[in-house]
């Protein structure tokens, strides 16, 4: 694992240093870590967080209802039985569960829904960059070092939420042998007149160097993971973020939540995936080590699913869903919701959980209080035209 | 025009094979146009593959076994392993055949179009029910209709077992159908509810035809889903009938009555009802616009010029979706011939063009599939019904570039010595091989390193 590192330090020594983002080893004023986990495919919020205390819940959910939950949160809500670790976080007051949450998107296309979830506007495809990328220049941390040292996508390709003008890093475990240092040097020379390729290669090598230094054993690709390696990536993210001069922001993603058929209740395919998510979040916590105390991990999805079961023991595309905010920095142990209820008259378009909290209010609350992003920038640059969506206050410990 | 030959082979085709630039040089457009029309014999590699109905027998066997094993969870676990073992070889053989054809074909524009339409009508092998059937959709529903009408391809796809199973339509049941009424009379209340599943209807409207901004409502989705009830397979449950593993319409599951979709009333009964809807969707102007944009994005630029999209859309409308006419309109769009190349290759493009340049396909199916998976594009497994994205931002992450370089050097390590890297570069990129790259290759410390530099060069990473 030393060849590539040797190349990077070699490049530094031979005058390419100016091209590489500089490491800052001390004087890190903002110590907060933020991880965004995007669940693609529309997580069923009523399965992840059953509203077992709602008078309409059991009848509406039919075979998918979990009527006697073990992992209760209060008299109304519980966590799905797969969420053992998350429930412990809740007991330790390190988890906030949000419910009846939605982005401004009100139709039911996955692809537009995800686009809007990530671009931070109120119209799909109206921006080619993501809200987290637009947040980066607003952070106090951005005055101290280059943005691609601050934010990292744990993926080969950067998801939309983190794409944009501010450079960011990306990293995923490789099963390919490393290219030797001499060849890499020659490729870097070949790219030197082409900024598109040059900037990407530099960012990749920088991320790889951090992985070499910080990670050690835990970064090999996991093959038996129900969420396509989310657990491995979460553990890696924790190690990246734990380093004193490591990134402060990471984005993870996992697909497979589109449960149109045979969704299952206490057990079944969705239960297995939720267990995978529970494990991955716990791996993230473990590998963050002492940095967990300064961390906030936000789990979001593009929209929810129908309240009623469909004809194939699953659920179709819906509207509001749940979200999670976990971490040592989180003022947790609470369910935050303006619960609309599940009675017919309360449903959105007669079929979906009605949204009562704008997801952007949660995002703004985290970005402002936890990462120190200025509120003016959040209302305009980051989430254009969102002034009406006031940040949820008090999400992190003061 | 030598540049035209390079564009023809690399942007429209799947990458120049040895000698191909010379063949395309005379009249590049004519060379491409003759690939568009007429039918072709099924390529040998594909003809040898079992059909979807045959593969379905394995699924049926496994389902019977599972029923018997239900009580015993250890046996059920063993079965899951057996399931993977029995189904994976079908998948790998389909992948291997696909890429043997892609690397060997002399008509790679035609083959690129097959891949394009397969991706448009995406099913994903990461759903176990589809694993062994994903490739059969391409071979049974896309290939036979490439030189025909979009409307026919659409029906072939929506009645294909892989699509029915992928989007869960096999057990979507009309709430007022005979089947549901019989069940309701017999079964006590509280038993599993029967009803529709919206998945297929929604994705036909959003992805296969009109596009997400095509003007349909949630009501249209629900009503179309009802029209599609009964579109299923010959399966043993929940209703018998039809040939196993083939499309079957189960009238008993069909929601009776006329339906109004997008303002049009469909009074037909049975299978003809949704067929009539599909026929109208195929010739809807929003469909022409949606497909034109996707084709322009694939062949011209991530954000193609509006006049190019309009030209292709008009060809679609004027020809009632005659695919050779539509494909020819792409060829006749001047912007499609611009140089230098601006489309960042997908991993699929990169691997196929590399193998074509080297004229090499690994012997083992598993080895054929491996590089696509390593670079993030597992064959037939886009993971969503939207298919693989066709814009650079989805593929050009910094880590992705490093993985491409690592793969390039491992391929070069295996294949060095077959040919001089500069020859390879010239026969693949012709006059578009950059002077910087040429110099770097000439100065390379080894053939292996030279090939790596060629594969990593910006001009080879684009098409």
Each residue's pLDDT tens digit, B65-116: 777 766 666 777 777 777 778 899 999 999 999 999 999 999 999 999 999 9
User: What are the tokens at B15?
Assistant: 């990458």
Say if CB B342 and CB B305 are below 8 A apart.
no
Q: Of the ranges A118-122, B193-197, B310-314, which one carries the lowest mean pLDDT score?
A: B193-197
Q: Mean pLDDT over all residues of chain B?
A: 93
Nearest to A311 among B171, B400, B444 (CB): B171
| A200 to B405: CB separation less than 8 angstroms, yes or no | no
Phi–psi pair at A307, nearest 5 degrees: -70, -40
What's this model's pTM, rounded to 2 decimal places? Answer: 0.86
| B212 to A109: CB separation less than 8 angstroms, yes or no | yes
Structural domain boundaries in chain A: 33-175+224-382
Sequence-separated contacts (24+) of B315-320 with Cβ below 8 Å: B316/B150, B316/B287, B316/B288, B316/B291, B316/B292, B317/B283, B317/B285, B317/B288, B320/B149, B320/B151, B320/B283
Q: In A246-350, which residue ranges form alpha helices assigned H by DSSP? A: 269-288
Which of chain A's residues have a Cβ under 8 Å away from the Cβ of B198?
A: 260, 310, 316-317
State the smallest CA–CA distance between residue B268 and chain A in angstroms.
Answer: 23
CATH number of A33-175+224-382: 3.40.720
Distance CA B327, CA B389 (A): 20
Coil/strand/helix, residue A320: coil
Is the previous residue joined to B78 through a cis bond, with omega within 30 degrees of 0? no
Q: Of the ranges A321-335, B159-173, B178-192, B436-450, which one carries the lowest mean pLDDT score?
A: B178-192
Q: How far is CA B120 from CA A267, A309, B91, B207, B373, in A?
A: 34, 29, 20, 8, 20
Phi–psi pair at B348, nearest 5 degrees: -60, -50
Strand partners, B149: B322
What per-residue confidence (pLDDT) applies to A212? 65
What per-residue confidence (pLDDT) applies to B188? 59
Structural domain boundaries in chain B: 1-34, 44-148, 178-282, 285-337, 342-461
Say if CB B32 and CB B14 are below 8 A apart.
no
Q: In B262-397, which residue ranges form alpha helices assigned H by DSSP? A: 271-282, 285-299, 306-318, 323-331, 347-358, 365-374
- The pLDDT tens digits for A177-233 are 888 889 999 999 999 999 999 999 998 888 877 666 654 444 443 334 557 689 989
Q: Is the pLDDT of residue B232 over 90?
A: yes
pLDDT band at B189 (very low <50, low <70, confident <90, very high): low
The distance of Cα A305 from the centroid of its chain, to the nearest Å, equals 20
Nearest to A187 among B399, B410, B453 (CB): B453
Q: How many other C-beta atoms are found inside a 10 Å radius of the C-beta of residue A338?
A: 11
pLDDT band at B372 (very low <50, low <70, confident <90, very high): very high
Distance CA B200, CA B172 (A): 10
Say if CB A89 and CB A95 are below 8 A apart.
yes
Q: What percent of chain B has pLDDT over 90?
A: 81
What per-residue confidence (pLDDT) applies to A149? 87
| B457 to A190: CB separation less than 8 angstroms, yes or no | yes
Helices (H) and strands (E) in chain B, counts: 24, 4
Phi–psi pair at B177, nearest 5 degrees: -70, 165
| B195 to A311: CB separation less than 8 angstroms, yes or no | yes
Distance CA B15, CA A268 (A): 45
- The pLDDT tens digits for B392-408 are 998 998 899 999 999 99
**Rg, chain A, Cα only:** 21
Q: Which of A206, A264, A311, A351 to mutate to test the interface with B (most CBs of B within 10 A)?
A: A311
What per-residue confidence (pLDDT) applies to A6? 40
Q: How many CB pairs under 8 A join A and B?
A: 164
Distance CA B379, CA A268 (A): 27
Is the previous residue joined to B285 through a cis bond, with omega within 30 degrees of 0? no
- The pLDDT tens digits for B314-366 are 999 999 999 999 999 999 999 999 989 999 999 999 999 999 999 999 999 99
Distance CA B379, CA A12 (A): 39
- Positions in chain A whose pLDDT score sits under 50: 1-3, 5-29, 215-224
Section B151-159 average pLDDT = 98
Phi–psi pair at B73, nearest 5 degrees: -75, -25
pLDDT band at B186 (very low <50, low <70, confident <90, very high): confident
What per-residue confidence (pLDDT) applies to B27? 93
Nearest to B386 among A111, A194, A311 (CB): A111
């Amino acid at each position: 694992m030393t060849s590539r590192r040797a190349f990077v330090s070699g490049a530094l020594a031979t005058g390419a240093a100016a091209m590489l983002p500089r490491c800052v080893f001390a004087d890190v004023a903002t110590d907060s870590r933020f991880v965004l986990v995007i669940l693609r495919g529309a997580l069923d919020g009523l399965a992840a967080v059953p509203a077992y205390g709602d008078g309409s819940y059991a009848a509406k959910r039919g075979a998918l209802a979990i009527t006697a939950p073990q992992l209760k949160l209060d008299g109304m809500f519980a966590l799905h039985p797969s969420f053992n670790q998350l429930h412990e976080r809740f007991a330790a007051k390190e988890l906030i569960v949000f419910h009846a949450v939605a982005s401004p998107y009100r139709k039911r296309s996955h692809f537009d829904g995800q686009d809007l979830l990530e671009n931070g506007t109120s119209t799909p495809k109206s921006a080619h960059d993501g809200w987290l990328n637009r947040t980066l220049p607003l952070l106090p941390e951005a005055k101290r070092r280059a943005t691609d040292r601050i934010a990292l996508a744990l993926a080969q390709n950067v998801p939309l939420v983190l794409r944009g003008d501010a450079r960011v890093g990306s990293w995923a475990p490789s099963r390919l042998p490393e290219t030797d240092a001499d060849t890499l040097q020659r490729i870097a020379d070949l790219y030197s007149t082409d900024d598109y390729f040059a900037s990407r290669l530099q960012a990749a090598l920088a991320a790889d160097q951090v992985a070499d230094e910080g990670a050690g054993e835990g970064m090999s690709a996991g093959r038996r993971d129900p969420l396509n390696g989310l657990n491995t990536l979460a553990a890696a993210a924790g190690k990246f973020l734990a380093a004193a001069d490591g990134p402060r922001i990471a984005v993870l993603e996992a697909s497979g939540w589109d449960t149109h058929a045979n969704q299952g209740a206490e057990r079944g395919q969705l239960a297995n995936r939720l267990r995978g998510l529970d494990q991955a979040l716990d791996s993230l916590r473990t590998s963050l080590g002492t940095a967990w105390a300064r961390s906030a991990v936000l789990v979001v999805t593009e929209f929810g699913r129908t309240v009623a079961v469909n004809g194939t023991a699953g659920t179709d595309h819906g509207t509001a869903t749940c979200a999670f905010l976990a971490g040592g920095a989180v003022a947790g142990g609470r369910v935050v919701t303006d619960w609309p209820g599940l009675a017919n008259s309360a449903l959105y378009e007669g079929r979906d959980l009605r949204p009562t909290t704008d997801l952007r209010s949660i995002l703004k609350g985290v970005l402002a209080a936890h990462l120190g992003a200025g509120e003016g920038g959040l209302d305009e640059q980051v989430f254009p035209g969102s002034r009406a969506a006031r940040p949820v206050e008090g999400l992190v410990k003061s | 025009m030598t540049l035209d030959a390079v564009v023809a082979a690399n942007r429209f085709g799947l990458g120049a094979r040895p000698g191909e630039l010379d063949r395309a040089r005379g009249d590049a457009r004519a060379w491409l146009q003759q690939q568009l029309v007429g039918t072709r014999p099924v390529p040998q590699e594909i003809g040898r593959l079992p059909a979807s109905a045959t593969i379905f027998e394995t699924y049926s066997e496994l389902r019977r076994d599972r029923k018997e094993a239900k009580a015993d969870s250890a046996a059920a676990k063993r079965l899951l392993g057996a399931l993977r073992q029995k189904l994976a070889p079908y998948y790998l053989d389909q992948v291997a055949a696909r890429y043997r054809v892609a690397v060997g074909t002399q008509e790679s524009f035609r083959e690129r179009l097959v891949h394009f339409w397969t991706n448009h009508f995406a099913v994903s092998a990461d759903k176990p029910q589809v694993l062994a059937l994903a490739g059969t959709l391409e071979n049974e529903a896309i290939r036979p209709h490439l030189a025909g009408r979009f409307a026919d391809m659409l029906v072939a796809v929506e009645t294909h077992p892989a699509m029915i199973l992928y989007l869960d339509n096999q057990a979507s049941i009309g709430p007022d159908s005979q089947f549901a009424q019989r069940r309701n009379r017999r079964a006590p209340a509280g038993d599993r509810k029967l009803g529709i599943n919206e998945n297929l209807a929604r994705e036909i409207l959003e992805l296969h035809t009109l596009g997400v901004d095509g003007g349909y409502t949630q009501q249209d989705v629900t009503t179309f889903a009802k029209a599609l009830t009964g579109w299923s397979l010959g399966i043993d449950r929940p209703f018998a009938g039809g040939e196993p593993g083939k499309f079957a319409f189960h009238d008993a599951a069909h929601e009776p009555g006329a339906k109004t979709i997008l303002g049009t009333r469909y009074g037909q009964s049975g299978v003809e009802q949704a067929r009539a809807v599909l026929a109208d969707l195929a010739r809807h102007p929003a469909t022409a616009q949606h497909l034109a944009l996707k084709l322009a994005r694939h062949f011209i630029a991530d954000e193609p010029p509006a006049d190019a999209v309009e030209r292709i859309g008009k060809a679609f409308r004027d020809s009632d979706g005659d695919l050779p006419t539509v494909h020819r309109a792409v060829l006749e769009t001047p912007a499609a011939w611009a140089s230098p190349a601006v489309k960042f290759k997908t991993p699929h493009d990169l691997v196929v063009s590399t193998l074509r340049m080297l004229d090499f396909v690994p012997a083992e199916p598993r080895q054929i599939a491996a590089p696509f998976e390593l670079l993030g594009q597992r064959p037939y497994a886009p993971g969503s019904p939207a298919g693989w994205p066709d814009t650079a931002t989805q593929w050009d992450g910094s880590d992705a570039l490093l993985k491409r370089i690592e793969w390039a050097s491992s391929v070069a390590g295996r294949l060095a010595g077959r040919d001089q890297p500069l020859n390879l570069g010239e026969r693949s990129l012709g006059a578009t091989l950059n002077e910087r790259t040429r110099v770097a290759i000439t100065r390379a410390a080894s053939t292996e390193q030279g090939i790596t530099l060629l594969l990593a060069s910006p001009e080879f990473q684009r098409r």
